[in-house]
Amino acid sequence: MKGRPEALFPLFAGLETLEGIGPKTARNLEPLGVVAPRDLLFTLPYSGVDRRLLPTLKDAILPSAMTVAVTIGTHRPPAAKGGAYRIHVEDSATSFQLVFFHARGDYWKRQLPEGSRRIVSGRVELFDNMAQMVHPDFIVSEDNANDIPVYEPVYPLTNGITQKVMYKATRATLTRVPDLGEWIDQSQKNKATWPDFTDAVMQAHQPQSDADLAATAPARERLAYDELMAHQLTLALARAKERRKKGRSSIGDARLRQRVLDSLPYKPTAAQTRAIAQITEDMASAHRMNRLLQGDVGAGKTLVAFMALLAAVEAGGQGVLMAPTEILARQHFEVLRPLALHAGIVLDILTGRDKGAERKVKLAALVTQETKILVGTHAVFQADVAFAGLRLAIVDEQHRFGVRQRLELGQKGQNVDVLVMTATPIPRSLALAQYGDMDVSVLDEKPPGRQPIRTALVSTDRIDEVIERLRAAMAQGRQSYWVCPLVEESEVSDLIAAESRFKRLRAALGEGIVGLVHGQMPPSEKDAAMQAFQRGETKVLVATTVIEVGVDVPNASIIVIERAESFGLAQLHQLRGRVGRGKEASTCLLLYQAPLSNSGRQRLEVLRETEDGFAIAETDLKMRGTGDLIGTAQSGVPRFRVADLEKQAGLMQIAQSDARKLLAEDPDLKSARGKAARMLLWLMRQEEAVRLISVG
């Protein structure tokens, strides 16, 4: 594995190697994410100052930055120490003043003698009805007019860094850009009318007008694409490495699946049928499956997962379904048990609770292959758990499984196929950024018979009416959730909020009817409280957000979410999905603290208008940005310097298909374009990816 190519050394040298940058300035640049000259290439100007030479300031709309040729007139030194030094000047049609503070002696008299000609450029403002330019940015003789940039780029700054420093440092860096070859497919480049990489960085740092600052300007769009392409190449290489692992072709005869489908009271949706077909095709191929099944709340992921597990069993193997918590594992087990009975196969569950003799019996049944499908928590990862013929592992992940964990999953069997399920609708651009190494199936329809959920916004000062509403629901035998707000970041205050709400509801509705679940409880107590609610012993469950995605209580038809404005949209949508699982019409009450901000109201109204999780996720992304939406730190979504995931989702898609196509044609990146692509990976600090390229 060779290190970074020599052509890139100047871009990855110390910042101090740039003229005019010493150790202190180098330290000051760090908050901008600039630690090498290469980072300056991707730190683009965000606005610009138009410094075209104008004939006159007359009739100009002030204040604004202007450039004009003037004749120097009378000088008026300050009357008192520290006052303003004023010079009267005239352009072709009007007069104004140049103003300087802290003028020393006759410095300006010598620099700007009366009667001389100069070009001045700076911000012009009205003061006491007189136009004035305070401390011009540029003062040059008419012979040196070219020293003033026609359109001056404005860079992001940080403490101790000025525009002049940024301008000089970026100019010095531009001289170091080597010819890197072309990694973009020629037809794609022509179609988009993108410049070469070197021209693109030059143009991006030397905009000629506001239009050149737009994300859609060809130079900027190309640099955004390059970032996305490097990221997608990395994911595609990880995917190719996965795919090079021999898979096991699992082809079933569909008899078990048919039995289950025949037993269902409804027909699967078109989306379910499509996903089942994609998964079975993957399982039948000689490559390992690495697929994401993305489905909105209540879209019927469990049925699709079970069909895949049955295909593994029909092919003579076993399957495992893993859930993040014991309560969800138990729930999957309860939902799948009747289906397994129809199929006539043995289904079992293994969690941390299974101990001693009982556990031994369960493990033995796996080894003899009597148990065909196992549902469990991460306990199935433990060393003593051995399968006779594991072919498919399904992970139901609320907490995001990173690429690395996905790779570890396959260790339990020979060439196990992997299917990851998520109930979080992820906007297309983010799904590509986060799961680009996987193939994706999307369930975007609700199964028939699901009741719509009515969503209403209620101000917290009407809390008594809401409690009465719960009382009425209880009288009809219905159950309700009450979700407490996330107060600050501390769990202690969450706890106080939940306990005081619990006490108030218990006082209003009666002893023994209200349950409580919060994050500080020992797991066994939490499970007991959840089970009491599932069995219908408690009628109202007060909870912090620990009522996880997937918890299924068909008899619960009301969910109250207190201080709804403090939750993210996607999270509110997930919580709302806890109701509407039975035959009754359900209600979600979003309790907000008045007065709501405009954006707060807008966000809650989106929930009132739609139940489409994908539409909600897109809105959330537009309103909050990538970082907030998923807490970028732990989300596995990369930070891009030029590309904007929200506005350039289409570009991400193009980059993904280009990266996959390039690797299909040139898996070792040996061609001229392949070598340029390696260069791109080094340039974008994707050294890990370079190591994934198959050796030899």
**Tens-place pLDDT, residues 481-498:** 999 875 544 555 556 677
Yes or no: say if 521 and 529 are a contact pair by the CB < 8 Å rule.
Answer: yes
The H or E element spanning position 219 is helix 218-244
Yes or no: say if 138 and 147 are a contact pair by the CB < 8 Å rule.
Answer: yes
669/31 Cα distance (integer angstroms): 35
Query: Residue 694: what residue type?
Result: S
- Which class for 347: exposed (0-12), middle (13-18), buried (19 or more C-beta within 10 A)? buried
Can you read off the two tokens belonging to residue 651?
Answer: 């570009």
Please check whether residues 262 and 399 belong to one and the same domain: yes
Which of 570, 587, 610 marks a domain boundary? Answer: 610
**Residue 509 domain-assigned (yes or no):** yes
In this predicted structure, what is the pLDDT of residue 606?
86
- HSE, side-chain direction, 13 A CA sphere, residue 270: 2
Residue of higher predicted confidence among 406 and 536? 536
Please check whether residues 129 and 263 belong to one and the same domain: no
Query: At residue 185, does pLDDT exceed 90?
Result: yes
In this predicted structure, what is the pLDDT of residue 567?
80
161/26 Cα distance (integer angstroms): 10
**Residue 517 domain-assigned (yes or no):** yes
CA 235 centroid distance within chain: 16
In this predicted structure, what is the pLDDT of residue 548?
55
**Residue 259 domain-assigned (yes or no):** yes
Burial readout 84-96 (b: 16 or more C-beta within 10 A, e: otherwise):
bbbbbbebeeeeb
Please check whether residues 527 and 457 belong to one and the same domain: yes
**Residue 138 backbone dihedrals phi, psi, to 5 degrees:** -135, 140
Please check whether residues 492 and 366 belong to one and the same domain: no
- HSE, side-chain direction, 13 A CA sphere, residue 532: 18
In this predicted structure, what is the pLDDT of residue 551?
66
DSSP state of 413: S
Please check whether residues 460 and 431 belong to one and the same domain: no
**Residue 206 domain-assigned (yes or no):** no
Query: Residue 643: what residue type?
Result: A
In this predicted structure, what is the pLDDT of residue 34?
94
Query: At residue 236, does pLDDT exceed 70?
Result: yes
For residue 435, give the CATH number of its domain: 3.40.50.300
The H or E element spanning position 327 is helix 326-343
Yes or no: say if 208 and 151 are a contact pair by the CB < 8 Å rule.
Answer: yes
**Residue 278 domain-assigned (yes or no):** yes
Give residue 619's pLDDT band: very low, low, confident or very high (50, 70, 90). confident
Residue with tokens 């007991």: 528
Which of 89, 118, 148 marks a domain boundary? Answer: 148
The neighbouring-strand residues paired with 65 are 123
Nearest to 443 by CA among 296, 249, 258: 296
Give residue 630's pLDDT band: very low, low, confident or very high (50, 70, 90). very low
Please check whether residues 483 and 603 belong to one and the same domain: yes
In this predicted structure, what is the pLDDT of residue 596?
85
Give residue 164's pLDDT band: very low, low, confident or very high (50, 70, 90). confident
The neighbouring-strand residues paired with 6 are none
Contacts of 292 (CB under 8 A, 6+ apart): 419, 420, 421, 422, 431, 435, 438, 439, 440, 441
Average pLDDT, the chain: 85
Question: In percent, how much of the chain has pLDDT > 70?
Answer: 89
321/343 Cα distance (integer angstroms): 17
**How many angstroms separate the first and last alpha carbons of the chain?**
10
106/152 Cα distance (integer angstroms): 31
> pLDDT by residue (tens digit) across 5-26?
999 999 999 999 998 899 999 9
> pLDDT by residue (tens digit) across 60-88?
999 999 999 999 999 999 888 878 999 99
CA 321 centroid distance within chain: 27
**Contacts of range 220-224, beta carbons closer than 8 Å, 24 or more positions apart:** 220/44, 220/642, 221/192, 221/194, 221/648, 221/651, 222/184, 222/192, 222/194, 222/195, 222/197, 223/42, 223/44, 223/642, 224/640, 224/642, 224/643, 224/644, 224/648, 224/651
Please check whether residues 279 and 371 belong to one and the same domain: yes
Please check whether residues 549 and 458 belong to one and the same domain: yes
Residue of higher predicted confidence among 154 and 627? 154
Please check whether residues 340 and 391 belong to one and the same domain: yes
Residue of higher predicted confidence among 695 and 546? 546
Give the mean model confidence (pLDDT) for residues 544-559. 73
**Residue 531 backbone dihedrals phi, psi, to 5 degrees:** -70, -35
The H or E element spanning position 283 is helix 270-284
In this predicted structure, what is the pLDDT of residue 274?
95
Other CB atoms closer than 10 Å to residue 201's CB: what's the count? Answer: 23
> pLDDT by residue (tens digit) across 116-137?
999 999 999 999 889 999 999 9
**Residue 479 domain-assigned (yes or no):** yes
In this predicted structure, what is the pLDDT of residue 635?
41
CA distances from 392 to 158, 350, 379, 387 (A): 51, 16, 17, 11
- HSE, side-chain direction, 13 A CA sphere, residue 183: 31
Query: Residue 283: what residue type?
Result: M
- Which class for 248: exposed (0-12), middle (13-18), buried (19 or more C-beta within 10 A)? buried
In this predicted structure, what is the pLDDT of residue 636?
47
> pLDDT by residue (tens digit) across 387-444?
888 999 998 865 445 555 555 555 555 678 889 888 777 766 666 666 666 788 888 7
Give the mean model confidence (pLDDT) for residues 197-217. 94
In this predicted structure, what is the pLDDT of residue 641?
87
Give the mean model confidence (pLDDT) for residues 226-237. 90
Contacts of 137 (CB under 8 A, 6+ apart): 65, 121, 122, 123
For residue 109, give the CATH number of its domain: 2.40.50.140
Q: Is 23 left (phi over 0), alpha (psi -120 to 50) or beta?
A: alpha
**Residue 250 domain-assigned (yes or no):** no
Question: ∠ at Cα 634 (629, 639), nearest 5°?
Answer: 70
Query: At residue 632, does pLDDT exceed 80?
Result: no
Q: Which domain holds residue 142?
A: 52-148
> pLDDT by residue (tens digit) across 326-375?
878 888 898 899 999 999 999 999 988 888 899 999 999 999 999 999 99
Task: Give the total number of structural domains in the chain.
Answer: 3
Look at the alpha carbons of 32, 36, 40, 42 in this order and tell me if their dihedral is positive or negative.
negative
Please check whether residues 366 and 326 belong to one and the same domain: yes
Please check whether residues 417 and 477 belong to one and the same domain: no
195/193 Cα distance (integer angstroms): 7
Query: At residue 173, does pLDDT exceed 70?
Result: yes
Residue with tokens 């495992």: 320
Lowest mean pLDDT among 19-23, 159-163, 524-528, 635-639: 635-639
In this predicted structure, what is the pLDDT of residue 412?
56
Lowest mean pLDDT among 105-119, 253-267, 630-644: 630-644
Give residue 627's pLDDT band: very low, low, confident or very high (50, 70, 90). very low
The H or E element spanning position 472 is helix 463-475
495/483 Cα distance (integer angstroms): 12
Please check whether residues 289 and 332 belong to one and the same domain: yes
Contacts of 88 (CB under 8 A, 6+ apart): 73, 74, 75, 76, 95, 97
**Residue 186 domain-assigned (yes or no):** no
Which of 408, 443, 478 marks a domain boundary? Answer: 443
Can you read off the two tokens belonging to residue 506?
Answer: 């218990």
Nearest to 505 by CA among 557, 534, 470: 470
